[in-house]
Amino acid sequence: MPAPIIVWFRNDLRLADNPALHAAASAGAPILPLYVLEEVPDDPRPLGGASRWWLRGSLERLGAACAALGAPLILRRGDPAAILPALIEESGAGAVFWNRRYAPAQTARDAAIKEALKRDGVEARSFNANLLAEPWTVQNKSGGPFKVFTPFWRSLSATLAPPAPLPAPALLPAPAAAPASDPLDSWGLSPTAPDWAGGLRAAWSPGEAAARDGLAAFLDGPVARYPTERDRPDQNGTARLSPHLAFGEIGPRQIWHAARHAADAHPDRRTGVESFLREIGWREFNHHLLHHAPHLADQPLDERFAAFPWRDDPAGLAAWTRGRTGYPIVDAGMRQLWETGWMHNRVRMIAASFLVKDLLLPWQTGERWFWDTLVDADLANNAGGWQWTAGCGADAAPFFRIFNPVLQGEKFDPEGDYVRRFVPELRRLPPRWIHKPWEAPPEILRQAGVRLGESYPRPIIDHAQARNRALALFAEQKGRTL
Ligand code: FAD
């Protein structure tokens, strides 16, 4: 009987199109599926609260799926550099297979583990499960990394031929003796904040089956309207696959093939599919950036922003995190984030712009809040999105493009339905005033039951003045360093 193979699951919590699992299952050896809740010294990015909630649900499903195929999932907690050798010793495993991840601290950890395993005579093999093209395989004409999205995507999509997704194994043979596993409940992954989990549970169903069903439902029709509806937070116009992708419950190759198939079968969905895959391309681009600029999550890519005189404003920050800025579209977004662990992309940009440009708070502060509260928190996409909005990223919106929260609300949530859903105290305001209640005549406010400054805050800052202040500061800085 060959020695068992450990399949170390990380952000690839699926059975289908999982190259590490597929290779192990094809080897004819017993399989030890393992997940480690990583606790390592000085971890720069422990999982945020919403991600921990998601992880619990995802592991529950993965555990059930592995057990059904014959090999129960082993759960261990601690430093994988110690856990893997211990499990090898205990089980007699001769190999460890895993799929690669791309956050800098994780790649460094994985490289050290691979070295150590090889030194001990254990086979260590890694695979690509989570990107269409790994960052080092895409180069510009001079052989360097891309800094602008459009040429990156043009170059990548011109040559892209991702292999067909791998099937889930039909069987996972287990070794005779099953190693011990932590009870999932002992990990304390559920949020301690009262009622937080209730909102997340109502909004989402983690796991591979929900990811697959979500993709199928999106490609079955809504994708055709994606180019026009993707910017509308009041519509269900996007795929809502981001947390499934962040945890690897579905992979980009599966998405790419399914989307292409939908476009071939239904020519009316072709434009929508192109536009949808372009966003998958942004995910690839952000991973490319993070690989080539490992400090993406902490330091501005445009170094001239390192000396920007950000403000310190605890009251403004608290109003922003709680969705009480007095700007309905910003508040709806921040409350959607807290209630459901997700925020529509257009509103992420509006809310981020408000924090950085109206309140002049550092983008890193917002990035951290999103990291803790998003179920799709992903280092590359989050840092990329924040740097893009702040104007200091690669191919970013320039700093002087400052979102006007009223005009953005009126354009992308024209009837105010999105605001009404998440800011119920404004739900009886007519569309004309819903994005600027402070301009509504007193009679309208009275009829709608809105008492400004009591039931709903007045704007914590005047947007026109804030805009001028930001532009003046920007011009001043530009004279010096920018
Ligand atoms: P769809 O529009 O259906 O797109 C499909 C997939 O493409 C998404 O699931 C995602 O993987 C990718 N994608 C879509 N838009 C973008 C984008 N602008 N940048 C990169 N990838 C994209 N996305 C995350 O996955 N994790 C984050 O932590 C994150 N933080 C963000 C922070 C800010 C400030 C901003 C502006 C954007 C952030 N995004 C993040 C990108 C984007 O908002 C989400 O990926 C998107 O809203 C997810 O919803 P969806 O699955 O319905 O997207």
> Over the stretch 421-478, which tens digit does the pLDDT of each residue have?
999 999 999 999 999 999 999 999 999 999 999 999 999 999 999 999 999 998 888 7
The per-residue pLDDT for 481 is 56
> How does residue 56 score in pLDDT terms, banded at 50, 70 and 90?
very high
> How far is the C-alpha of 301 from the C-alpha of 296, rounded, in Å?
7
What is the rounded average pLDDT of the residues 285-302? 96
pTM over 0.95: yes
Q: What is the DSSP letter of 46?
A: P
373 lines ligand 1 (CB under 6 A): no
- Classify each residue of 434-469 as buried b or exposed e, where b means 16 or more C-beta atoms within 10 Å of its C-beta: bbbbbebeeebbeebebeeeeebbebbbebeebbeb
71 and 43 in a single domain? The answer is: yes
The per-residue pLDDT for 422 is 98
Distance from residue 242's CA to the centre of ligand 1 (Å): 6
Q: Tell me which of 413 and 159 has the higher pLDDT.
A: 413
> How far is the C-alpha of 412 from the C-alpha of 392, rounded, in Å?
25
388 and 273 in a single domain? The answer is: no
| Neighbouring residues of 51: CB distance < 8 A, sequence distance ≥ 6 | 246, 374, 375, 377
Per-residue pLDDT at 326 exceeds 90? yes
216 and 67 in a single domain? The answer is: no
Distance from residue 345's CA to the centre of ligand 1 (Å): 6
- Nearest ligand 1 atom to alpha carbon 286: 20
Three-state DSSP at 452 gives strand
325 and 473 in a single domain? The answer is: yes
345 lines ligand 1 (CB under 6 A): yes
| Neighbouring residues of 193: CB distance < 8 A, sequence distance ≥ 6 | 49
Per-residue pLDDT at 154 exceeds 90? yes
140 and 157 in a single domain? The answer is: yes
329 and 343 in a single domain? The answer is: yes
CB atoms within 10 A of CB 6: 25
What is the rounded average pLDDT of the residues 137-154? 95
Is 397 part of a structural domain of the chain? yes
14 lines ligand 1 (CB under 6 A): no
Q: Which of 223, 242, 373, 375 should be mutated for ligand 1, with most atoms under 8 A from CB?
A: 242
The per-residue pLDDT for 482 is 52
Domain's final residue, options 231, 262, 292: 292
CB atoms within 10 A of CB 318: 11
370 lines ligand 1 (CB under 6 A): yes
460 lines ligand 1 (CB under 6 A): no
Backbone angles phi, psi at 448, to 5 degrees: -85, -5
The protein residue with its alpha carbon nearest to ligand 1, atom 9, reads: 242
426 lines ligand 1 (CB under 6 A): no
Distance from residue 313's CA to the centre of ligand 1 (Å): 28
Is 451 part of a structural domain of the chain? yes
386 lines ligand 1 (CB under 6 A): yes
Distance from residue 240's CA to the centre of ligand 1 (Å): 9
- Nearest ligand 1 atom to alpha carbon 218: 3
Q: Domain count for the chain, please give it.
A: 3
pLDDT digits (tens, 9 = 90+) for 3-38: 999 999 999 999 999 999 999 999 999 999 999 999
Q: What is the DSSP letter of 164?
A: P
Distance from residue 349's CA to the centre of ligand 1 (Å): 11
Per-residue pLDDT at 480 exceeds 80? no
> Percent of the chain, pLDDT > 70?
99
pLDDT digits (tens, 9 = 90+) for 202-260: 999 999 999 999 999 999 999 999 999 999 999 999 999 999 999 999 999 999 999 99
> How far is the C-alpha of 349 from the C-alpha of 231, rounded, in Å?
11
- CATH of residue 95's domain is 3.40.50.620
Is 69 part of a structural domain of the chain? yes
101 lines ligand 1 (CB under 6 A): no
The per-residue pLDDT for 444 is 98
Q: Which of 228, 381, 389, 403 should be mutated for ligand 1, with most atoms under 8 A from CB?
A: 381
In a 10 Å sphere around its CB, with 0-12 CB exposed, 13-18 middle and 19+ buried, how is residue 163 labelled? exposed
* Residue given tokens 């983008």 in the structure block: 363
97 and 149 in a single domain? The answer is: no
Using alpha carbons, list the distances in angstroms from residue 331 to 93, 136, 325, 435.
52, 40, 6, 11
381 lines ligand 1 (CB under 6 A): yes
The protein residue with its alpha carbon nearest to ligand 1, atom 8, reads: 242
> How does residue 262 score in pLDDT terms, banded at 50, 70 and 90?
very high
466 and 322 in a single domain? The answer is: yes
Per-residue pLDDT at 46 exceeds 90? yes
282 lines ligand 1 (CB under 6 A): yes
- CATH of residue 237's domain is 1.25.40.80
Distance from residue 182's CA to the centre of ligand 1 (Å): 33
In a 10 Å sphere around its CB, with 0-12 CB exposed, 13-18 middle and 19+ buried, how is residue 414 labelled? middle
Q: Tell me which of 142 and 193 has the higher pLDDT.
A: 142
241 lines ligand 1 (CB under 6 A): yes
Three-state DSSP at 87 gives helix
106 and 13 in a single domain? The answer is: yes
The protein residue with its alpha carbon nearest to ligand 1, atom 7, reads: 280
Distance from residue 237's CA to the centre of ligand 1 (Å): 13
Is 172 part of a structural domain of the chain? no
Nearest Cα to Cα of residue 18 among 125, 132, 168, 134: 168
Three-state DSSP at 226 gives helix
Is 65 part of a structural domain of the chain? yes
- CATH of residue 398's domain is 1.10.579.10
The per-residue pLDDT for 427 is 98
Domain's final residue, options 292, 311, 327: 292
Q: Which residues participate in catalysis according to the annotation?
A: 279, 282, 310, 345, 363, 386
280 and 356 in a single domain? The answer is: no
The per-residue pLDDT for 7 is 98
230 and 140 in a single domain? The answer is: yes
Domain's final residue, options 263, 292, 321: 292
Is 186 part of a structural domain of the chain? no
> Percent of the chain, pLDDT > 90?
92
Number of alpha helices (DSSP H) and beta strands (DSSP E) in the chain: 21, 5
The protein residue with its alpha carbon nearest to ligand 1, atom 11, reads: 242
> How does residue 383 score in pLDDT terms, banded at 50, 70 and 90?
very high
Q: Which of 279, 343, 379, 387 should be mutated for ligand 1, with most atoms under 8 A from CB?
A: 279
Is 180 part of a structural domain of the chain? no
For residue 399, the enclosing domain spans 303-480
| Neighbouring residues of 295: CB distance < 8 A, sequence distance ≥ 6 | none
- Sign for the CA dihedral angle at 416, 386, 150, 482 comes to positive
347 and 233 in a single domain? The answer is: no
9 lines ligand 1 (CB under 6 A): no
Is 449 part of a structural domain of the chain? yes
Distance from residue 230's CA to the centre of ligand 1 (Å): 11
Backbone angles phi, psi at 76, to 5 degrees: -135, 155
